[in-house]
Structure 1
Amino acid sequence: MPEFDLDSFKKTWQEQPVQQKYDNNEILKMLNRKSRNYVKYIFWISVFEFLLFSVMGLFYFFQGEETNGFLNVLEKLGAQKTPEVEHNFGITYLIIKVLSLLITAYFVYKFYQNYRKIKIEENLKGLITRIIKFKKTVNAFILISILLLVVFTSIFTVFIFYALNSQNVEPTNSALTIFVIVTAVSTGLCVLLIWLYYRLVYGIIMRKLDRNLTQLRDIDSQEN
């Protein structure tokens, strides 16, 4: 009986060629389907955000919570509540909310377009291009969301100083310092929370999409 050589058997087994489970076309279809699903997830998340912000904006607008908060800040700085100030603030607040919702609606539409354009039978280079464009759209949405917060806070700050100036009110140094510090800190915290939210919610999906993009580029390099 021949002697069984375990080391030789291991070496022979390791040298056996590994059969690829799926070919590139099958992998491409799977990655295409996954990519389409990831884009769909972000689309539905953005739809939820748009509806949530719309409902919250309408609620606070009709409740007058934002106006009351703004007028309380003015009073603490020494200004008076006047119909003109309330009217001007109401118009400014309405314009800002409408502009914010319009921008969000635009990106919801862009996400939907990206979702519709990614098709299962699409060629490799077309899919890579669409994923790259989608990533740029998501990054632009996150950046503009943060910029909107900073711009709107700046507008309200300018409006407060305009109201004070129109009434010839000079707030005390301590009140002015507290106002500036609170505004800066609250804005910074809001920016951080927005960044963390998008980093968590959108980031998880985008990292998976990045892995798909890496695999697609590997397939593309093999075919060229």
Structure 2
Amino acid sequence: MPEFDLDSFKKTWQEQPVQPKYDDNEILKMLNKKSRNYMKYIFWISVAEFLFFSLMGIFYLVNSNEFDSLLNILEKMGVQRNDTIQNSLDTIYLVIKILSLLVTGFFVIKFYQNYRKIKIEEDLKLFIIRIITFKKTVNAFILTNIGLLLIVIGALTAFAFYIFNSQQIHLSRSSLMSFIIAISVSTILCVTLIWIYYRLVYGIIMNRLDKNLNQLKEIESQEN
């Protein structure tokens, strides 16, 4: 019986050529399909957000106590509530709702258009460009929502100071500082919460899309 040489067996086994499990075309198809699915997830999330804001808008339209919290704060600072203030706030909040729905609706359409343009059999370079465009649209959506929040807070703050001036309310230094600090803290908190939300909801999907994009770029560079 011949002697079994373990070291020789290991060497022979290690020298065997390793056949790739998938070729580049199969990998490309899988990456394309995954990328398309990730874009679809973002699209449906944006649709859910649009429906949520729409339902919230309907709720507030039938809720007459919508502005009580803000008016209560202003009253504590000496503002006299009247129909003019109430009507002005009604208008401001209506504009905010419409603007929010328009922004969300616009990006829902953009996400859908980007998603529809992605084709699995498409040229690799063009496919990569479409993914990059989609990423830019997502980033624009996040930054636009943060910007919209800052505009809303700025508009309400300006309106509050307008009321103080029109009713000739002179705030003490400590009251003014407290008001400014409260607005600043609220702004930072709201922006942080929005950023965390989008990083959690969109960030996970976008990170996976980034990995696919890097792999697609590697395949594209090898082809060149």
Both proteins in one fold, TM over 0.5: yes
Corresponding residue number in structure 1 for 2:93? 93
Q: Distance in 2 between matches of 1:41 and 1:178?
A: 43
**Structure 2 residues without counterparts, runs of 5 or longer:** none
| Cα gap change, 1:66 to 1:176, in 2 (>3 Å) | farther
Corresponding residue number in structure 2 for 1:194? 194
Corresponding residue number in structure 2 for 1:133? 133
The Cα of 1:61 is off from its aligned counterpart by: 3.3
Q: Show the 5 A alignment for 1:26-105.
A: 26-105=26-105
- Residue 124 (structure 1) aligned with residue 124 (structure 2): yes
User: Which residue type is aligned with residue 148 of structure 2?
Assistant: L
Q: Distance in 2 between matches of 1:83 and 1:51?
A: 32
Corresponding residue number in structure 2 for 1:3? 3
Corresponding residue number in structure 2 for 1:20? 20
The Cα of 1:91 is off from its aligned counterpart by: 0.8
**Secondary structure class of the residue paired with 1:144:** helix
Cα distance per residue 1:75-130 (max 9 Å; x no partner): 11111111111111111111121111101110111111111111121121111011
Which portions of structure 1, spanning 4 or more consecutive aligned residues, are displaced by more than 6 angstroms? none
Indicate conservation of the 8 Å contact 1:131/1:213, yes or no.
yes
Indicate conservation of the 8 Å contact 1:38/1:205, yes or no.
yes
Larger mean CA deviation between 51-60 and 160-169 belongs to 51-60
- Figure out how many residues of one structure are paired with residues of the other and give that number: 224
Q: Distance in 1 between matches of 2:179 and 2:34?
A: 49
Q: Distance in 2 between matches of 1:93 and 1:209?
A: 37
Corresponding residue number in structure 2 for 1:214? 214
**Secondary structure class of the residue paired with 2:3:** coil
The Cα of 1:58 is off from its aligned counterpart by: 2.3
| Cα gap change, 1:187 to 1:65, in 2 (>3 Å) | farther
Corresponding residue number in structure 1 for 2:204? 204
The Cα of 1:60 is off from its aligned counterpart by: 2.2
Q: Compute the TM-score of the two structures, normalised by the length of structure 1.
A: 0.96
The Cα of 1:170 is off from its aligned counterpart by: 1.2
Aligned-residue RMSD, C-alpha: 1.3
Corresponding residue number in structure 1 for 2:154? 154
**Secondary structure class of the residue paired with 2:66:** helix
Counting aligned pairs with the same residue, the percent is: 64
Corresponding residue number in structure 2 for 1:173? 173
Q: Distance in 2 between matches of 1:108 and 1:63?
A: 27
Q: Distance in 1 between matches of 2:14 and 2:173?
A: 79
**Structure 1 residues without counterparts, runs of 5 or longer:** none
Q: Distance in 2 between matches of 1:188 and 1:155?
A: 16
Q: Compute the TM-score of the two structures, normalised by the length of structure 2.
A: 0.96
